[in-house]
Structure 1
Amino acid sequence: MQVSGDLRIDAIERMDTFFAGLRMRLVKPVLDPKIVIVDIDEKSIAEVGHFPWNRKIVARLVSQLTTHYEVAAAGFDIVFPEADNTSGYDVLDHLAETDMKNVVGFRSRVDALKEALDYDGLLAAALRDQPVVLGYNIADDQRKGKLPAPFFTTETLNGRTVPAYGSNGYLANLERLQDASATGGIFTAITDPDGILRRSALLMQIGDGYYPTLSLATAAVALQARAITPSFSKNVAEMSAAERAHGGLDKLLMFVGQEKTPLAIPVGENLTGVIEFRGSGGPRGGAFTYVSAADVLAGRVRKELLAERIILVGTTAPGLLDLRPTPVNNEYPGVEVHANLIKSILDERFKLRPDFADGIEGVQVALTGAVLALALAVMAPLPSILLAAAVAGGVFGFNYWAYTDMDWVLRMAMTLVLIAGVFVLNVAWGYFFEVRKGRALVSRFGEYVAPELVAEMADDPEKYNMDGESRELTVLFVDVRGFTTISEGLTPKALREYINLYLTAMSEDIRDSHRGTLDKYIGDAVMAFWGAPVAFADHASRAVATSLLMQASARRLNDDFVARGWPPLKIGIGLNSGLMHVGDMGSKIRRAYTVMGDAVNLGSRLEGITKVYGVGIAVGETTRAAAPEFAYRELDLVRVKGKNEPVAIFEPIVLERDLGAAERHELERWRQALAAVRAQQWDQAEALLAELRALSPERGLYALYGERIAHHRAHPPGPDWDGVTTFETK
């Protein structure tokens, strides 16, 4: 289904009306003592009787307001189109002409009662010369009652056409009542297509005349306006076609009392004004004082509360059908609509859409769009959310300020939609871009590191790359002992399975168990490192733990291989820690993420000399220092090929906390034996080695040092011997 542009515009307009209503609801109402609503409420109906009341009661209410309370003006949100026959005078008059015609004195008595029982006459008498405005309505199919004098007519417009809401029909007040009152005002409501009341006509056209609504008429009476005239901003020749279509009437000029400067009342299209709804409406709405009509009739209201005030008489009682749907309340008292308009007139503050509103809104859209488009493109998700929220809050805040302080009615839905759109687009693009980066990262590192590390890296791909850098790392080399002999003793198929099982086990121990980075396979050898691309402070500890695990896996595999009739499996592992160069290295044809440097070369040498000492693992002294939680057996001080400085090498055994008493005893004896060798105390060293061989006859290290002692006895090393073993081969 294709969505038309009109629907999209309508959606924006609906959003604008929503925000306009929200803006009104956010304004805290301030009670205005100048306007008081006399409410025909449930209390009044309970005390006085069902509504509508007879005109005698209404006359008493008018007299109370005007004579006793001396109000400035009273506007009745009520129409009196029919004569009031509730007094019974018509019945008495009929009896005087018929059945009671011959009763002496009956006719004269009825005539004497006529004035007292003429309720319309009583009301007219109460209205005469008082500041009371009667309400009336327009109608399409009738003309009933009498209209008050119009403010102006089409004749006074000098040929201009001023569109306005209205009709040729009306439902007005009885002639005698309208003639007695100060004037009259229309109270017809004008709702938007969604049924919500947001605007009100200030003038409506009936025939050739322009008549005020109840709010404007009541304000005029209260201010004792001597005239209200239309004001045009331009001559007809200067107006655009659109302006001519609306007549060019932009305000009404109310000449108040003896003031020389008239009060200007702006009007919009069709002579309407925006209603500024204050509070939530009703007696507890907070904007206007409500008093019960019953209390006014009984004189129970304090005089200072009503004196010199503008009074609106209406009803909030349920069932009397004077509740309107508005932006602030779906059941807003109709009488309070007039109160809000009167307050705007008295305060000379009108909510208007200024002529430059389109320009402000255009700048607002352009500025927010530019700021967000530039900023969100380079910001992380959380700052992006905060910025978008801050900009949206700023737009709403500016709009709220313009409404409350400047009385400008501005639209902001388009700007907010733009903010949301740019943010969503940025998030979608960022997600797409990050997914691509994440996939690229997975593709580049997935073969090297454990899946959970790849997932961690994909969460923040900006932190990881393959660029070269120097870092403290730990490298590991592992090789199969006697692989040439193994390969000669197996068929190609068996050899493939042999090496695949071995490499799989070693790779899983490296990559999955302790999150190492698998560098490469070099025939039967495996190279790995810890600390890159994901940095670990405990990279040495992870590497040592992995080497012990790999030896355990090799022993398990060896049992399986021997059971299959395959050659036994033994491996040697070399570990070293230090500063290494890590990154994507190689040629244009082939590249790999690997490590290089002297510390790497030493790790490789250590793997090669494990077979010399008859141990499964050899680590450098930096690794031992960086992983102190393990127990180690010092093997020697060595000078490997390509390095002049000797290094101490060690065999990790087990976690220090898991070392048994027998193992501790053996390690202590070995430490003593090694010290005796370096001190050239051959007899003591041989005695200690003999004890150690009795404890662990299979350990080749003890036999190696026994042979060295025999060599040194035959060829004394001299007093300046440093105890270092130099290796001339790799």
Structure 2
Amino acid sequence: MRLFPAKWAKTLLKYGPRWLLGILVTAFGVAYTAGVVEIDAVRRLDSLLAGERMKLEPPVLDPRIVIVDIDGKALTEVGRFPWSRNIQARLVTQLTRHYQVSAIGFDISFPEPDTSSGYGVLEQLSNGELKDVPALKQRLATLKPAMDYDGLFAGALKGQPVVLGFNMSADQVKGQLPAPIITEQDLNGRELLAYSAPGYEANIGVLQSAAAGAGSFSVVTDLDGIVRTAGLIQQVGDNYYPALSLATAGVYLKALAIKPFLSQTVDQLSQNQLSSGGFDSVTILLPGKRQRVIPVGEAMTTVVQFRGQGGPRGGAFRYVSAADVLAGRVPEALLKGAIVLVGTTAPGLVDLRATPVNPEYPGVEIHANIIKSILDMRFKSRPDWAGAIEGIVILLVGLALSLALAALSPLRSILLGALVLGAAVGVNYYAYSELNLIFNLAMPLIVIFAVFVLNVAWGYFFEVRKGQALVSRFGEYVAPELVAEMADDPEKYNMDGESRELTVLFVDVRGFTTISEGLTPKQLREYINLYLTAMSEDIRDSHRGTLDKYIGDAVMAFWGAPVAFADHASRAVATSLLMQASAHRLNDDFVARGWPPLKIGIGLNSGLMHVGDMGSKIRRAYTVMGDAVNLGSRLEGITKVYGVGIAVGEATRAAAPEFAYRELDLVRVKGKNEPVAIFEPIVLEKDLDAATRDELERWHAALAAVRLQQWDQAMQIIVELMAIFPERSLYSLYTERITYYRAHPPGVDWDGVTTFETK
């Protein structure tokens, strides 16, 4: 009986703090969904996620809706916009009579008379200065039908399924509105919330009277300037009018009326209601089965389902140029029976809107998306109970994760967190794409992520500190930076043996025995410590080399493992030059102290090497082995022979071509049969001065002459170089060789290779 409570107490002590943190985070998420707290950043994140969710749906071309685009091509062929009404009349005639479209919606308004024909000026003249010319009045009477562009346009509209657009306005009243679909008087005291404006910019009376209807193309943006919803019914003054999309769909479907109805008064409508007791749906009454019931949200809006990225290449709707329609170049099959929206994407005509899927989305395509939703009866809506569902989900998921993550291993915690996160996103997208329901995703994701992060941070605080101690202790035996990287990502950096292309470096102090004899033990310790520190910093910190080991006064390092570098040879060569510069600096300091001078030799070689954790049961090390490593060691020793500070193999030179090199010789080192070319790196090729370049060219010419056994030519060049650079012991070496070869010719089959019998 005592073990049970004690066990629970122990569990509570172990996991209690993490459980409490998870519960607090979960409670905060539930409070947000309930409206107790408001966070603008979360709302913005929800908007961002909603836009990304829309982008996941691939656009499918809808042949029922075509956009006749007043694009750059149309402006070039027809003329600048706005066009005269006789051109608009031709456009309508082409669409209705030639192409036999089913409905036309103009995302354009015509608020002022068209006087571009000049008829008004002629009429004034005939009534004024030229009133005594009776033939003028007679002629004007015959010309009036052709010059009355508004009349021509009205004639083209009359009896045709054409819906004109108008714009809501706060500061003007212009043109004639269509008959309202409902008035304040019709509401009989009930409230109908909708986007409203006191004024409007509509179409002139003669055009509005001839058209089949009109709709508002005004678009209301959210506070961040992005269009996400559209008002299907909008209020001007005391009257209510349909949006352009709703009016155009009504004409296409031959609607008897467009009326908002209380859901409880219409048997066919859904029983969902708004809390205000106002109107919660719009129905378009049609004969037979063509009735449409359109659910709306707050302020008589619907969520715009943006399909594709918008524009002629957006993929959701076909675009044709108005110029091609006027010229009859569009295939009849593309337009026959279609709904046509006349709009513009031409730069400068300012009908591009910021949307979740594109910051420059054609405004006309917003109406096209709404029409498609009406035709398909597929609307994305957020139900009244969405917040309650989100709160329940956050509560259940948050508590479950808080309890589970506290007790799971790291791998299982990551798997569970990823699974829950993926499930949340997947279910949300399924509800959106298949059920047409909109649920907010930001707060559930925040709660899942926060609970996971807090558990990980709490659970691994002590383990991380232990890991840091392990890195510090293990770093005494192998390179600390290697251990740190392995601790950060052990899956990526393992110590198993493998073969890689690497570059190895060996550096040794010249005459160290003599140096040690001339210093006290304390001085020698400081001497070697300063030297090894400088060399190690150059290797490890400057070019990310891996320190392998110290061998007395020698240092071994390599590049390309455990972290792979494609430019490992270049890093190694750059490091060797930096090490020589550090040695010169140290030498000046040592000489000033009265210590023996410091000179070092460096050997570099690149090639295939075996790298990994190698050694015995007693002591192991992460190191490299192989023929390429042995050659690097031989090259370090060879530097003494040629009197140079650095010697690299031909593989290194080929892998680091950005440096300028002095070729030293063709050598066959002990233990290898194949000769290799060896080089001394000088400086980056781009930094090579003219004098050094000239020296290198002359030297390489002398070396070529030696290999051709042209002793006199080679000697002449080298003697000239020795006069300029007497400190180059390399030149002295070759003068001795030439003298020897003159006395002992190597023979016609000589390959120019120098063989070393010792290490």
TM-score, reference length from structure 1: 0.58
Aligned partner of 1:297 among 326, 335, 345: 326
| CA–CA distance in structure 1, aligned partners of residues 618 and 349 of structure 2 | 85
- Aligned match for 2:182, one of 106, 131, 152: 152
**Equivalent AA in structure 2 for residue 354 of structure 1:** P
Quote the offset at 1:542 in angstroms.
Answer: 6.6
Q: Pick which of 331-340 and 417-426 moved more.
A: 417-426
Counting only pairs closer than 5 Å after superposition, residues 409-424 of structure 1 correspond to structure 2 as 409-424=438-453
Provide the residue aligned with 1:85 in structure 2.
Answer: 115
Inter-CA distance 304–390: structure 2 relative to 1 (3 Å threshold): same
* 1:285 correspondence with 2:310: no
- Using the alignment, how far apart are the partners of 2:467 and 2:356 within structure 1? 48
Contact between 1:234 and 1:248, CA under 8 Å: does it hold in 2?
no
Contact 1:81 1:174 in 2 (8 A): yes
- CA distances 1:335-369 after superposition (whole Å, capped 9, x unpaired): 00000000000000000002331232123212322
Give the aligned partner of residue 183 of structure 1. Answer: 213
* Alignment pair present for 1:273 and 2:329: no
Partner Cα distance (2:411, 2:139) in 1: 91
Cα-Cα RMSD: 3.2
Change (3 A) 1:95 1:356: same
**Cα distance change on mapping 1:441 and 1:289 into 2, 3 Å:** closer
For residues 388 and 106 of structure 1, do their structure 2 counterparts lie closer, same or farther at Cα, with a shift above 3 Å needed? same
Residue 115 of structure 1 deviates from its aligned partner by: 1.0
Residue of structure 1 aligned with 2:202, choices 172, 188, 199: 172
Shift of 1:79: 0.4
Aligned match of 1:224: 254
The whole-number CA distance in structure 2 between the counterparts of 1:27 and 1:541 is 62
**Greater relative CO (CA pairs within 8 A, separation 6+):** 2
CA deviation after TM superposition for structure 1 residue 111, in Å:
1.1
Deviation at 1:431, TM superposition (A): 2.3
Q: CA deviation at 1:385?
A: 3.0
Q: Which of 80, 93, 100 pairs up with 1:63?
A: 93
1:437 Cα offset (Å): 6.1
Offset of residue 82 of structure 1: 0.4
- Against the structure 1 CA distance between its residues 430 and 117, is the aligned structure 2 distance closer, same or farther, given a 3 Å change threshold? same
1:260-409 superposed matches below 5 A: 262-409=291-438
1:506 corresponds in structure 2 to none
Offset of 1:434 from its aligned partner? 1.9
Name the SS for the 1:290 alignment partner. Answer: strand
1:54 to 72, 84, 95: 84
* Equivalent AA in structure 1 for residue 425 of structure 2: F
Counterpart amino acid of residue 320 in structure 2: V
Give 1:413 deviation, angstroms. Answer: 0.4
Residue 44 (1) aligns with residue 84 (2): no
SS of structure 2 residue aligned to 1:20 = helix
Residue 83 of structure 1 aligns with an amino acid whose one-letter code is: P
Give the drift of 1:189. Answer: 0.7
Give the superposition deviation at 1:538: 10
Change (3 A) 1:360 1:95: same
Question: CA shift at 1:393, angstroms?
Answer: 1.9
Paired residue secondary structure (1:340): helix
**Structure 2: how far apart are the matches of 1:537 and 1:139?**
81
> What secondary structure sits across from 1:230 in the alignment?
strand
**Compared with structure 1, are the counterparts of its residues 128 and 537 closer, same or farther at alpha carbon in structure 2 (3 Å cutoff)?**
closer
Shift of 1:377: 1.9
1:207 CA drift (Å) = 2.1
* Post-superposition CA distance 1:655-674 (Å, at most 9, x none): xxxxxxxxxxxxxxxxxxxx
The TM-score, its normalising length taken from structure 2, stands at: 0.56
Secondary structure (helix, strand or coil) at the match of 1:74 reads: strand
Asked if the contact 1:403/1:409 (under 8 Å) is kept, the reply is: yes
The verdict on how the C-alpha distance between 1:130 and 1:36 changes in structure 2, with shifts beyond 3 A counting, is same
Letter in 2 for 1:78: I
Q: Does 1:28 align with 2:22?
A: no
Higher Cα radius of gyration: 1
Q: 1:539: Cα distance to partner?
A: 9.0
1:537 deviates by 14
Decide whether aligned partners of structure 1 residues 216 and 109 sit closer, same or farther in structure 2, where only a CA change above 3 A counts: same
Letter in structure 2 aligned against 1:53: W
Q: Which amino acid aligns with 1:291?
A: V
User: 2:274·2:280 contact (CA, 8 Å) conserved in 1?
Assistant: no
- CA distance in 2 between counterparts of 1:212 and 1:318 reads 28
Distance 1:163 1:15, change over 3 A: same
1:212 aligns with 2:266: no
CA separation of 1:293/1:429 partners in 2, compared to 1, >3 Å: closer, same or farther?
Answer: same
Q: Partner of 2:39 in structure 1?
A: 9
- What 5-or-longer segments of structure 1 have no aligned partner? 236-241, 461-512, 514-535, 544-730
| SS in structure 2 of the partner of residue 32 of structure 1 | coil
Amino acid of the residue matched to residue 72 of structure 1? S
1:234: how far off?
A: 5.0
Q: C-alpha separation between the residues in 1 aligned to 2:86 and 2:440?
A: 50
Mapped partners of 2:348, 2:459: distance in 1: 58
Per-residue CA deviations over 1:15-70 (Å, capped at 9, x if unaligned) read 10010000011110000000000000000000000000000000000111111111
Pairwise CA distance, 1:421: 0.5
CA 1:362–1:270 in structure 2 vs 1: closer, same or farther (change >3 Å)?
Answer: same
Q: How does 1:251-650 map to 2 (within 5 A)?
A: 251-259=281-289, 262-435=291-464
The unaligned stretches of length 5 or more in structure 2 are: 1-30, 266-272, 488-549, 551-612, 621-759
**2:138 aligns to what?**
108
Matches of 2:393 and 2:111, distance apart in 1:
52
Give per-residue Cα distances to partners, 1:442-490, cap 9 Å, x unaligned.
99xx9xx99769x999x99xxxxxxxxxxxxxxxxxxxxxxxxxxxxxx
Taking the aligned partners of 1:317 and 1:257, their CA distance within structure 2 comes to: 40
Amino acid at match of 1:350: F
Following superposition, the deviation at residue 256 of structure 1 comes to 1.6
Distance 1:450 1:317, change over 3 A: closer
**Whole-angstrom CA distance in 1 between matches of 2:88 and 2:72:** 17
| Alpha-carbon distance in structure 2 between the residues aligned to 1:78 and 1:541 | 87
